[in-house]
Amino acid sequence: MEDSARSKRHLALYGLGLLYLSLALLAGISADQLAAETKALGYIAPPCWTAIAALTLFAAFKGYRGGAWFIAGTFLAAFSVVFMSVAGNSYQQADRNTMLSGIALAAILLLVAAILFWQGQRRHRRISSGNSVTTVETAPIAEDSEFEAQSPDRTPVLYPPMRSWRLFLLMLFSFGFYAFFLMYRIARDLSELGQKQLNPAHCAWQMLIPFYNFTVFLNVAKQATLLARQHGIAAKCSPTQLMSMLIAAYACSYLLPDFLFVLAIVGIAVPWLILNQRMNRLRRALSADWREVPDRFSWRQRFVLIFGVPFIALGLLGSKSNFSFYLADRLEAEQTVSGQPTLYHLTVPDPQWRQVAVGTFYPDTDMELMNAKSKEWVVVRVLPNQQQLLDSVIDQRQAVIAANWDIFEVEETRTFLANANMVPISLARYTRTGVNIAQDSPLFVATVVTPDKVFEVIGHGSADSGSNAWNLVKSFRLIAAEAEI
């Protein structure tokens, strides 16, 4: 049994090494076809991922026993390459803040990966010296073994009780996806206790089916409650109430703002915590052997926690703009808004827009507006005019867009600002074309150059929102004092 388990672990390392090698080959082959904003990935990723693949394959060949520590370390090291490429692209585009952020995140991931490799090495040495601990999970029982042929009163083999705080962390750092694994654990234990109509694997993957997953949850909760009552364990919440709580939690997760995604995960976790607590009491009431070491995370669960930390951090960073939107004051339709100093104003087309804090999207803006419903934003940049003409400012903006979009179309019109003393304005619409047209929404840019100032109004549109951002960009007007220049 030990040789079989060891062989499976080595095969998993071989598979992981081949996966990293495939990613390296794919990145190298597609280097010339990548968009400009991801060019660095095509040059940095192949050698880095090849090195990680070589390390993993060498570990598999040598029978390395680093376990989940080693696997998680390789994953974080591979994931840090993405942030290295972000830093490389930002360096080419002279975006200092993004470059420093990419370097910092890559360094943090590499530091954590080094710690994991160290822990994996400690585990390898401990097992090699004969200090390993054999559990029921490392010696699974075959279906046709003598154990299966024993009397019906045989000792059941169950998953050990899981404390609520451990399950909560697993649900949180997996964004709720650990519920599928928890369903497998519960269904397998119920099947072990006599509920043979439950197929653990089927129950787990059926949780992926929308709406039907609630029926699966209800059925398993009913079986768990029935067994608990047979052993004298009271249930305060009925299976129907638990299912209703789960449905309400999923409904609320779609209604909550993006920055409250953690609260949505907590709501989804509550009925699972109650059901798990019920199963814990049932497991403790029985004289059972455990499949895993009690009161500690398995290597799979450690992997979920380590895997989820960077994604939770990215989720919190990504929801910054949404959080700023809900902190901002509401705007009325046809209301005029201005930046500081008040040299211009924009006219808000509808009440869905709000003026968010400067720096929410870019660090060098004078005013920023956001529409959370249509996922649009508009920023205004006011810079001193260093003897620039309108044509040169437009050429600079097109060069920046070309660095990010390989192929795009431009629709530009030029006219004079209303109520201004012959001040020209350029109104341009940039649309990405080619194979990746679904990845980027159109950009709207209004450009005005006066003897003292350069004004740029940049709007990010949305495919399903019409010309809402476009109307806001076109509403740019200079205040009379500036227009008289």
Region 6-22: mean pLDDT is 76
Distance CA 17, CA 59 (A): 9
Q: The tokens 């519960």 sit on which residue?
A: 186
Q: Tens of pLDDT along 435-450?
A: 444 445 788 999 999 8
**What 3-state DSSP class applies to 300?**
helix
- pLDDT at position 428 over 60: yes
pLDDT (0 to 100) of residue 144: 38
Taking residues 248-261, report their average pLDDT.
86
pLDDT > 90? residue 221 = yes
Across 328-345, b (16+ Cβ under 10 Å) vs e yields beebeeeeebbbeeebbb
How many whole angstroms separate alpha carbon 119 and alpha carbon 73?
10
Evaluated on CA atoms 355, 356, 361, 366, the torsion sign reads positive
Domain ranges of the chain: 2-128, 157-318, 327-483
pLDDT of residue 140: 41
Task: Tell me how crowded residue 288 is: count the other CB atoms within 10 A of its CB.
Answer: 19
Confidence bin at 130 (pLDDT 50/70/90):
low
Q: Is the pLDDT of residue 348 over 70?
A: yes
> Is pLDDT above 60 for 390?
yes
- DSSP, res 418: T
Question: Which pLDDT band, with edges at 50, 70 and 90, does 484 fall under?
Answer: very low
pLDDT at position 314 over 70: yes
User: pTM for this structure?
Assistant: 0.57
Q: Is the peptide bond before 47 cis (omega within 30 degrees of 0)?
A: no
Alpha carbon separation from 152 to 146, 194, 195 (Å, rounded):
13, 10, 13
pLDDT band for 281, please (50, 70, 90 cuts): very high
The angle at the Cα of 97, spanning 91 to 101, to the nearest 5 degrees, equals 90
Cβ–Cβ < 8 Å for 44, 69: no
For range 191-220, the mean pLDDT: 88
What is residue 286's three-state secondary structure?
Answer: coil
Pairing of strands 367-371, 353-356: antiparallel
* pLDDT for res 112: 86
Least confident range from 251-255, 414-418, 465-469: namely: 465-469
Q: CATH number of the domain at 327-483, please?
A: 3.40.1000.10
Whole-number Å distance between alpha carbons of 178 and 224 = 19
- Partner residues linked to 459 by β-bridges: 378, 444
pLDDT in tens, 353-378: 999 888 888 888 999 999 887 788 99
Q: Which residues pair with 478 in a beta bridge?
A: 344
How many Å apart are CA 71 and CA 69, to the nearest integer? 6
Q: What is residue 409's DSSP assignment?
A: E
